[in-house]
Amino acid sequence: MVLASESCGCMSTAQQSSQCITNFIRNPHILAMEEDYLYHLGLGTKTHDLPAMFGDVKFVIVGGTPKRMESLAKYFMHEMKAKLPIGTQLSDITGAAERYSMYKVGPIICVNHGMGNPSISILLHELIKLMYHAKCKNPVFIRLGTCGGLGVPGGTVVISDGVLNDKLNAEHEFKILGNIVARPTKLDVNLAQELKSLANLSDDYQTVVGKTYCADDFYEGQGRLDGAFCDYKEADKMKWLNMLRQKGVVNIEMESSMFAALTNQAGVRAAIICAAILNRLDGDQVCSINELFG
């Protein structure tokens, strides 16, 4: 995989804000702090030499589970023909804090974000600060996850070119000091197209680009019939799913609006790639066989 990370994408891409986290952080209080301890990563500016540890990072890959992120790091090692010193193995850098698991292979870090917007929110705040403290140059952020497909079969790879919230707006509503602050869920459209161009006709799955609907729940929030509660009927669900389809939505998941809003706010190039584990127009239950795609 070759991506144009060398140019300062966050400065040159019109869709992104005009400042780069390399030399700027949008919080004046951070500059006044003697120490910044990134609690959920277990890393701090006084306890760790963050530029030495992370200064070379070019790609920040985030995804749901710790094991998947470890597997991904091992895959990158294999693809990059990276070799570790004899008698060593990949180690979870942030495991001591017990919240997220992070692996590093050359200029790539792979971190799990758990499930849902609040969980990925904590991670992104601390990763963005980590990139700033480490003086990283123009890192690209990619969420690599799973999703329900909408009109596409299980196994389809979906690259997001936009994210809609429950009001069908392309924004995430933050609740800050009693106010609602809506921030745009913009992704880097050029990066999405660049990623799409890497798909191959010989792949045994299809790769599509489209809009993502972000829900705050797996069951009622995604119109499933199989949660602990369900006060609507199959017909209501299908009407809603078809309405989403008509709006250009091709997949549904639970972290995209926070991911898109915070990376855009930070001025970093960002993309979301998800594997569909089923087609929601065909059903709700994810059976164990589908875990092959997980």
Which of 16, 138, 257, 265 is in the footprint of its own copies by CB under 8 A? 265
Cβ(22)–Cβ(136) under 8 Å?
yes
DSSP secondary structure letters along 178-245: TEEEEEE----HHHHHHHHTT--TTSSS-EEEEEEEE-S-SSGGGT-S-SS---S-HHHHHHHHHHHH
Task: Kindly identify the residues of this chain, within the stretch 39-98, that bind its own copies according to CB under 8 A.
Answer: 39-40, 42, 44, 47, 64-68, 97-98
- CB under 8 A: which stretch of 8-16, 78-86, 127-135, 199-207 binds its own copies? 127-135
Query: Which listed residue (89, 175, 235, 246) binds its own copies by CB under 8 A?
Result: 175
99 is in an annotated binding site: yes
Beta strands 270-279; 140-149: pairing state: parallel
Residue numbers 209-228 binding its own copies by CB under 8 A: 215-221, 223, 225-228
Size of the site for its own copies (CB under 8 A): 75
- State which of residues 25, 41, 105, 163 lies at the interface with its own copies (CB under 8 A): 25
Residue 114 lies near its own copies (rule: CB under 8 A) = yes
To the question of whether residue 183 is assigned a binding role by annotation, the answer is no
145 binds its own copies (CB under 8 A): no
Q: Which helix (H) or strand (E) holds 259?
A: helix 256-266
Among 19, 230, 245, 281, binds its own copies (CB under 8 A): 230
Nearest to 184 by CA among 164, 167, 204: 164
Could you tell me how far CA 196 lies from the centroid of its own chain?
17
201, 212 Cβ separation under 8 angstroms: no
User: Counting contacts by CB under 8 A, is residue 14 touching its own copies?
Assistant: no
- Is 222 among the annotated ligand-binding positions? yes
**Is residue 184 near its own copies by the rule CB under 8 A?**
no
Please state the φ and ψ torsions of residue 161, each to the nearest 5 degrees: -115, 10
Annotated binding residues: 99, 143-146, 222, 224
